[in-house]
Every structure is written in structure tokens, then in C-alpha cells.
Structure 1
Amino acid sequence: MPRFQTTDPGYKNKHGQIVISRTGFPSESFPGQTIYHLRCAHCGHDYGSNGKDIHLRRCPRHQDGAKGEALREPAPSLFSAENV
């Protein structure tokens, strides 16, 4: 599967939208895409975006960008995140 820099945490597009993390949840609007957590560098607004739109995204709060996808909390894990 190809890997794109635009989905790497820390990537910032030309409109100031920063990739925070990959959520692991599937996109509800684009089958086959994963939702990524984005944050606006200008106002701090957090929202979700599918991977293919990251390079074009504008903030939904103040740049007239599309609403984005809902961010969800992952289910609790039975296992610790620590390395054993």
C-alpha cells in the first residue's frame, strides 16, 4: 500500500491544517479511506478528515472548509500500551 507524506503526523498543508494522528476509524463519506485527526494551526479547531483530502483542507470553523468527519474515542483496551 502506498504511503503519503500528507498523512504523517506533523504534516501541515498550505492552509495551516496539521495532521495530529491517524484515528484508525473508516471514513463514512469515502469508502476505503481512514479518518485522520486534524487541527487548525490558526485557531486550534480539531476535526476529522479522510486521508485523500488532507492536502486541500481548510478549517471548517473560519476558512469556509467542509465540515469534516466526526472524531471518535477508541474503545478501551484490555492491554497496557507499555512495551513489555
Structure 2
Amino acid sequence: MVRKIRMPQSAATTRPGYRNDHGQVVVRDTGWGSESFPGQRVYHLRCEHCGFEYGANGTDIAKRLCPSHQGGVKGERLREVGPRLFD
């Protein structure tokens, strides 16, 4: 018998393509840890209204406002994805 594992609803907010009520869209998981919230990862977000791109930890994606024009808090630093050594 195969059991379905239910993911917490918050897990959906970190999937690429997720759009919150303020027009902030998850582009990708950067793979980097958050500098402001230990234990969380940084996700690349893009504002659908103005195109501004910034980083956000996974705990506040659902309620984020754009730091450029919606008065949202400054985003986390976006870093390039590092090289994959073992594919």
C-alpha cells in the first residue's frame, strides 16, 4: 500500500511559478542559505508589476511586497548558482 505524504501548504509557496496576492512570483530556489533567517533558503522572486528581482527566504514569500515600489522590506542578496561538481 502506497501512502500519500501531505506537504504543508506553505511548501507550495516555494515552488517556481507560485504567485502571491501582491504579484510577486517565485523564479527559482537559489540553493543558498538565508543570511537573515537561519535554517531557511533564499528564493529568487520577481515582481510582475515592475520586473524588480530580489531574494526572499521561504517563510515570507506568501506575504512579500516588492521592495522597489510596494514598500516591501529589502530583499536578500541574490547570488549566482554555483557550479555543479557531480551531475
Q: Normalising by structure 2, report the TM-score.
A: 0.84
Structure-2 separation of matches of 1:78 and 1:33:
23
Question: Are residues 1:74 and 2:76 paired?
Answer: no
Structure-2 separation of matches of 1:60 and 1:31:
21
Larger radius of gyration between Structure 1 and Structure 2:
2
Correspondence for 1:47: 54
Question: Are residues 1:19 and 2:26 paired?
Answer: yes
Alpha-carbon deviations, 1:47-68, whole Å to 9, x = none? 0000001001000000000111
Percent of pairs identical after alignment? 61
Q: Normalising by structure 1, report the TM-score.
A: 0.87
Structure-2 separation of matches of 1:51 and 1:77:
23
Q: Secondary structure at the match of 2:67?
A: coil
1:74 shift after superposition: 2.0
Unpaired runs of at least 5, structure 2: 1-6
Unpaired runs of at least 5, structure 1: none
Corresponding pairs, count? 79
- C-alpha RMSD over aligned residues: 1.4
Question: Are residues 1:37 and 2:69 paired?
Answer: no
